[in-house]
Structure formats: structure tokens, C-alpha cells
Amino acid sequence: MKRRLMVTGADGFVAGSILGQADETWEISALALNEVPYQRPGLDWQVFDMRGTERLRSVFKDARPEAVIHTAAMADIDFCEEHKDIAEAVNVGVTREVARLCREHGAKMIFLSTDTVFDGTKGMYAESDCPGPLNFYAETKVRAEQAVQEEAGAWIITRLSLVMGLPVIGAGNSFLAKTIAALKAGREVGFPDEEIRTPVDVITLGRAFLELAAGDFTGYLHLAGCDRLNRFAMAQHIAERLGFSRDLVHVKNPSAIPGRAPRPRDASLDNRKARATLATPMRTLDEALDLVLAEK
């Protein structure tokens, strides 16, 4: 018997990995704002704006999902800072409605949050650490986490570190793809050396979310890689690994970028709970690159 899964934001980067790796045991209802040219048996696309609750309720009623992976979000940090009403409606309002519908239909809700809910003063944050958002995007994610706890029945709140990889389906928003394109063209790329992360690859995330959807775990879980490094060092390593000169990667001062919202300095995540909970391994940067490049 097939398991019924709903994936919101299905035209996005992480969702594309989930859809691309789901086998024939999954019957998936994919909710997206934009059409994606990807079809397979058992996959049903629903293209609409999730801020309209009537259509959302109808889709839930027809799909009868056992689990919902809620990836849909307004994730551009600087856009959220400038368009707070949209960020609030999408990141908090839609999440709260999805949580209510999950409870109503007896579906487990798996929510994607972010490492940037933390203020970055200490790094290696565990699931039990208290958030301290520095920008409006992070504020909406903290409120969305609260909405999931208040409204959903069974729930999982995952906090993702910086996501690395190439799109599995659709275009997605991949900094790696943009970096590779620039390096191939011989253009310099700039990354801050003061922002520390624990990058996780998109293939590992797709597998982890399918495992969580099929399993019994509930609660908070940090999905992050095993290496802690600043974004400049990470980009240098990627350039060297792909056969490009490290000299093409330079330090970029984030404070010099006009209109850039504040980011946490060290938002690295402790992934020990994920490593103990999941059969899907959390990987080092080199292991992640091996996996991502093998999927090209």
C-alpha cells in the first residue's frame, strides 16, 4: 500500500530533492506556486497560491496525506526585511493554516526552519537552545515554529543549515550552481569570512525528509553537515575541489552590501541528535560534494 505524502513549496530547491528521490512507494501531492516540468506515476501537481485557504482545504481533503513536508516559504532574507507583510503572510500565516489542517486530517507535519533563528553568538546550537533572531525572516520562522507546536498534532521541526548542492528538479536556488557558473566563466566570487555555518547537501536532506515522513520520530531536529567553517573557506574548498583556482574566491564584506539584513555570525548547528536518530548519514563537506557531483 502506498504512503500518502504532501510536499508544499514543491517547486523549490529542497522539495525538488524530496520529489526526485521518492520511489514508487510514495503517492505525492505536490503543492507549488509555479509549474515544474517533472512527472512520474503517483505524483499530482497542484499549482496555486497557498495564501488562499479555501483551495488549500480542498486539496487536503482530496489528498488525505499521512505526512506533510512544509517547505513553502519566503526565504530571501533581504526581501523579507523589505516586505514584512508578505513574509508574515507566507511564513507564519500559511504555516499556521497547514498546521491546523494537519491536525484536522491526522497528518504528521514536518516543518523546515532555519539555523538563522539563532543570534550566532556561540555556535554549535543544539535543539534545546533558545532562538534569538536578528532579522525579520528569522523572526517569522520562530513564530512559525510556535504555530506548528500550537496547531499541529504530531510534528517535527527541522532546522536546516546552509543548503549546498545542485537542483535535482527545476531550477531551485543553489548558491553552488551559481558559484560553479561564475568560476567556469573565470569570474571572481565573494563570500564573507565572518559567517560560520555547517553546510548540508540537498541530496542528504531529501533522503532525511523521506525517512522522517515514513518514521515515528517527533520533535526538534537539526539537519546539518559535520564540518563547521566560514563561507569564504567553504567556497575556497569547493573551488579547489572542482579544479579552479582558489584565487578566484575573495572575501566579501557583508556590511558593504546595501540593504543587507543582519545575519548571525556563527549559526553552526550541532547534528549529534540527527546522527543518532536517522539512518540517513550527515556528511562532511567532501562527502557531500562527492554525493552532489555524482548526481549531476
**Tens digit of each residue's pLDDT (9 = 90 or more) over 127-179:** 999 999 999 999 999 999 999 999 999 999 999 999 988 877 765 557 788 88
Q: For residues 149 and 62, state if they share a domain.
A: yes
According to DSSP H, which parts of 10-113 are helical?
Answer: 13-21, 53-63, 77-82, 84-87, 95-105
Q: For residues 124 and 242, state if they share a domain.
A: no
Question: Whose grid coordinates read 523549490?
Answer: 12
Q: For residues 223 and 183, state if they share a domain.
A: no
Cβ distance 235 to 164 under 8 Å? no
Q: How many domains does the chain contain in total?
A: 2
Q: For residues 208 and 99, state if they share a domain.
A: yes
- Angle, nearest 10°, between helix axes 175-184 and 231-241? 50
Q: For residues 250 and 161, state if they share a domain.
A: no
pLDDT value for 170: 60
How far is Cα 65 from Cα 102, in angstroms, rounded to an integer? 8
- Among residues 255, 118, 277, the alpha carbon closest in space to that of 197 is found at 118
- Among residues 193, 213, 204, 181, the alpha carbon closest in space to that of 70 is found at 213
Residue 145 forms part of a structural domain: yes
Residue 261 forms part of a structural domain: no
CATH code where residue 73 lies: 3.40.50.720
- For the chain, list residues with pLDDT below 70: 170-173, 254-258, 295-296
Question: What is the DSSP secondary-structure string of 114-167?
Answer: EGGGS-SSS-SB-TTSPP---SHHHHHHHHHHHHHHHH-SSEEEEEE--EES--
Q: For residues 100 and 219, state if they share a domain.
A: yes
Q: For residues 122 and 41, state if they share a domain.
A: yes
- Among residues 114, 160, 108, 102, the alpha carbon closest in space to that of 141 is found at 114
Residue 255 is classified by DSSP as G
Residue 233: which domain range? 175-194+229-256
pTM of the model: 0.94
pLDDT value for 167: 77
Residue 180 forms part of a structural domain: yes
